[in-house]
A and B are shown apart, each in its own frame.
Chain A
Amino acid sequence: MSASEWPLWEVFVRSRRGLSHTHAGSLHAPDAEMALRNARDLYTRRSEGVSIWVVPSSAITASSPDEKDPFFEPAADKPYRHPTFYEIPDGVKHL
């Protein structure tokens, strides 16, 4: 089996406890177990993470660039949806 036949996987890394998993990149691997190991070598060897998810790229349904306007445009002129009128205390992190 050549690499071109290996499925593509998306890698999500949680950089530390309390944060969510963030998309780090993608890689090829023959199966999920190997994808996890490849992800460890490619994306976390400088202690970037405490947890990794790998997801088959084919399992992801993405919004299309053509639908950008109906999807995202209507939110642009509604500032009342953002909590911009509160003052954030100094001690609050990750907001």
Chain B
Amino acid sequence: MTAALALGDDALVLAHRLGEWAGHAPVLEEEVALANIALDLLGQARVLLSMAGDEDELAYLREERAFRNVQLVEQENGDFAHTIARQLYFSTYQELLYGQLAAGESEFAPLARKAAKEVAYHRDHAEHWTLRLGDGTAQSRERMRRGLDTLWRYTGELFEPVDGLDLDRDALRRGWTDSIGSVLDRATLTVPEGPQRGAWTAGAGRQGLHTEPFGRMLAEMQHLHRSHPGATW
């Protein structure tokens, strides 16, 4: 089922990326915050992947080309501002997406209604950090700007059609653009210029084409299960 895979892979891959901060976050409080967000996403991924098949098999035994996540979520953490930029772009999209799904009657409505509250908090967390980093010191501002600029080219893919998802994509894009514009304005930053897709890369995650860092991430995520099939705690 294409749609469940697409949304489930978004949540799974971003959960893993955020989990990579464990033991490395700038302060203990923020490490817990990022881990909480990661666990929320992992919970969503489990429900969504179970709708598409066996969750463990899908997460641990698929090859890179079989993953259907957008390329935005697979991008490396970079510095903290880079992670926050990725989180702002994605959680703003995910909140609007789940909002639409929750109002509908598809098989995703029950999950969307529950997850919408989690995602609203993820977006709020990213917004507050964007405001503080953007309107903070010269260095925090520069790093936030760099994160937003670098990831901008991956944002176009968020609005591509997904088979099996009945969405008002124009409203999705409009809501996202307004929301991001308003946050960046309050953070005294400007919305990045330039295309929302790369020359060939963006727009392809949903078709199974991924960027270079994704293979390394998958190798780490899957190696335990592949080395010790069926291992449990």
Contact = CB atoms under 8 A, between A and B. Distances in A.
Nearest to A31: B132
Interface residues of B, number: 14
B88 to A, nearest CB: 15
Nearest to A34: B128
B-side interface mostly: helix
Contacts of B36: 41, 45
Contact of A41 (B32, B128, B136, B137): B32
Given A33-B128, A34-B128, A27 B29 contact: yes
A6 interface: yes
Given A1-B137, A3-B26, A41 B132 contact: no
Contact of B33 (A1, A6, A28, A38): A38
Interface residues of A, number: 15
A41 B33 contact: yes
Interface in A36-95: 37-38, 41-42, 45
Contacts of B28: 3, 28
Contact of A37 (B26, B128, B136, B137): B128
A37 B124 CA distance: 9
A28 B27 contact: yes
A34 B27 contact: no
A29 B137 contact: no
Interface in B134-151: 136-137
A28 B26 CA distance: 12
A34 B32 contact: no
Contacts of A1: 136-137
Given A37-B33, A41-B29, A41-B36, 16 more contacts: A3-B26, A3-B27, A6-B27, A28-B27, A28-B29, A29-B29, A30-B132, A31-B132, A33-B128, A34-B128, A34-B132, A37-B124, A38-B30, A41-B32, A41-B33, A42-B32
9 A-B pairs with the lowest CB-CB distances in the bound complex, closest first: A3-B27, A38-B29, A41-B33, A41-B32, A41-B36, A27-B29, A42-B32, A45-B36, A28-B29
